[in-house]
Structure 1
Amino acid sequence: MRQRFGPAAVAFLSLLAFLREALPQTPPAKKLADECGTRPVVGLKTGPRIVGGHDAVPGAWPWQVSLQLYEIGLGYIHICGGSLVSNSSVLTAAHCTRATMNPALWRVVIGLHHLVKHSSHTVKRRVKTIMVHSNYDTNTYENDVAMFQLIRSVKFNDYIQPICLPDTAVLVKADYPCFITGWGHTKEKGRGKLVLQEAQVDIIPLSLCNEYNWYGGRITWNMLCAGSATGHVDSCQGDSGGPLMCYFPNISRFYLIGITSFGYGCGRPRHPGIYVRAPNYRKWIDKHIRAESTTMNFHCLLTLLIICWIVFHIGL
């Protein structure tokens, strides 16, 4: 004999089915950790505009995103880069938000190679919230860190992957290859590139970077220098917020070591790019990723309470 359901039960089951489809599905933490820092399409293989760089191949940097701002009459314009660190969180530079903190005017484009010619792998997401480090200093660029939370999470695939976040005690050895990427200018006072650029860089000791004929003591322990002493390789305008990443051969993964922050000109000798030292902000990053997860859980609970209230009144 078939089981018969009353109106209240039918309504309850229907609402549960709707809830399953409507709420974002967050992968378990273990799965996220297992997937980070890998490049399924190209593996490690890469070459040395970003100044002094060249075109990246599609899928080479699956955590690289474009942060785009809506301008009347122009549509969405690329402003900064960013790094996907979870399926709903993008890490970038705080100074990228100086035009506006209104999330409704921003979008994040993921799985992107060409800024204009989007592929089937390209995903666009609106922004729910923007969080800037409370101690960000607009004059010195100290604590130049921000996080964009997406309205809807993304699914990881060969072209969309999160980058690994380093612990505070991470050690980048001299033989670990490090790279920068972005759609920024390829020379000072130049123009950006439509195709994502990549370049291999050297991590430059803080003591050298702070010498009087370099940055003269301006660089703090929360920053790091990367590029080349001669200026042949550098980040530039439009690359801000993008990743400085290093490959750890012992575990075959890329880690986010820096966030593109500022520099004196582009490609100038003894003035390499300055990056936020990402490991110093691991607690801040984790806190805001957890805050997003907590908010989602609260919304789930609130929705379930509303469902129970509706079912109760239908059953009366």
Structure 2
Amino acid sequence: RLRSFTCSCWVTLGQSHFFEVSQPHSPHRMFVVGEEGKRRLLAALRLLWIVIKPLVDETTEEERIVGGHDAEVGRWPWQVSLQVHHTNGRYLHVCAGSLIDYDSVLTAAHCIQNRTTPQLWRAVFGLRRLYGDKIHSVNSQVMKIMPHCRYDARSHVNDIALFKLSQFITYNDYIQPICLPSTPLLLSDRNPCYISGWGLTKENGTPSYILQEAEIKVFPHEVCNSYDWYNGQLSRNQLCAGSESGHVDTCLGDSGGPLMCYLPDDDKFYLVGITSFGIGCGRPKLPGIYIHAANYRSWIDSRLLGKTSIVSIPCVLIFSTVVWVTIHLVL
């Protein structure tokens, strides 16, 4: 990713589409562009603009929310931007997460990949706009990364991880934890559900630097696994949510972020799902897939309390590199 104008950009357009014209007594050369040359030059300038434009406002590595709109300041106070330190000294947004305790952020295991060193990461809280919203934001380094040891990169099962922070986060109007359900919630039309993130606004589209939100529907498991949807690929630990038409969805970069539902009787939002993966973004009958948070409550509690079990065979997490054509991880 470009961060300054210290590098050079070379574009090959082809000499046959340019005509050199000499000017008397001038050290400079002028070129007259033919019709084909104009077309190639415009294409090159568009490409150059795509490369240079992020210099104005830092870019993200991986992004996502389709069919959303700008969230108000403080609307989702548990929303976290998980960022990785690069060799140029800057941090880039990689994934989202949810604050669940003073020093704990829940996210997706696939976000980690080979970046297992905690010192590479930081968590940013209270953000609405990436890379510039410092009024209410708080940064924290990461002390420990705890992915699920049985995470499978191919099937995406157990796609959950806990980040322990190096400091306690002070709660305020813009930074609050989200509630965790102790058992799976029975959702109805009385329970509006939402997604949020800084991801792509459409498949192969552009990211939003303003936090996006969208209301979505959580579908019954049998609908998600029907033959013309995911055709039995999903386990009971996975949810699908979005819209049947595909007009609302998560996309690249929203990984690890919250799927949250409101319970009016409790007057609280609960973390129902963790953004995991999808086939494309915003496709009909292929909504985003989320880890069913309630099914991992005991796993989460054991990490929060530091009571991870000790077994005779080491629990090794293997992150394999998988090349996807249509199926992509929601990074």
Q: What's the TM-score bracket when you normalise by the shorter of the two chains?
A: 0.7 to 0.9
Query: Residue 291 of structure 1 aligns with which residue?
Result: 306
Deviations along 1:257-295, whole A, 9 cap, x unmatched? 000000000000010000000000000111111118xxx
Query: Residue 153 of structure 1 aligns with which residue?
Result: 168
Q: Among 177, 187, 192, which residue is 2:202 paired with? A: 187
4+ residue runs over 3 A deviation:
none
Q: Among 265, 271, 288, which residue is 1:250 paired with? A: 265
Query: Residue 34 of structure 1 aligns with which residue?
Result: none
CA distance in 2 between partners of 1:280 and 1:115 (Å) = 31
CA distance in 2 between partners of 1:246 and 1:210 (Å) = 22
Q: Among 67, 92, 97, which residue is 2:107 paired with? A: 92
1:281 is the counterpart of 2:281: no
1:11-160 to structure 2, matched below 5 A, reads 50-73=65-88, 75-160=90-175
Q: What is the percent sequence identity of the aligned residues? A: 54
1:263 partner SS: strand
CA distance in 2 between partners of 1:164 and 1:106 (Å) = 24
RMSD: 1.4
Q: Does the 8 Å contact 2:85/2:120 carry over to 1?
A: yes
Specify every segment of 5 or more residues in structure 1 that has no aligned partner in the other structure, as ranges: 1-48, 293-316
Deviations along 1:156-181, whole A, 9 cap, x unmatched? 00000000000124322232000000
Q: Does the 8 Å contact 2:78/2:177 carry over to 1?
A: yes
2:305 partner SS: helix
Higher helix fraction (1 or 2): 1
CA distance in 1 between partners of 2:279 and 2:294 (Å) = 24
CA distance in 1 between partners of 2:140 and 2:303 (Å) = 19
Give 1:73 shift.
2.2
1:259 is the counterpart of 2:283: no
Deviations along 1:51-105, whole A, 9 cap, x unmatched? 0000001100000000001112261000000000001000000000014111110
Count of aligned residue pairs for this structure pair? 245
CA distance in 2 between partners of 1:290 and 1:178 (Å) = 29
CA distance in 1 between partners of 2:304 and 2:188 (Å) = 28
Q: Does the 8 Å contact 2:68/2:213 carry over to 1?
A: yes
Matching residue's letter, 1:155: T
CA distance in 2 between partners of 1:156 and 1:195 (Å) = 22
CA distance in 2 between partners of 1:55 and 1:290 (Å) = 36
CA distance in 1 between partners of 2:254 and 2:171 (Å) = 24
Query: Residue 315 of structure 2 aligns with which residue?
Result: none
Q: Among 219, 226, 237, which residue is 1:222 paired with? A: 237
* TM-score, normalising length: structure 1: 0.76
Give 1:119 shift.
2.7
* TM-score, normalising length: structure 2: 0.72
1:276 partner SS: strand
Give 1:120 shift.
2.2
CA distance in 1 between partners of 2:202 and 2:184 (Å) = 34
CA distance in 2 between partners of 1:74 and 1:203 (Å) = 40
CA distance in 1 between partners of 2:99 and 2:198 (Å) = 16
1:67 partner SS: strand
- 160-169 or 259-268, larger mean C-alpha shift: 160-169
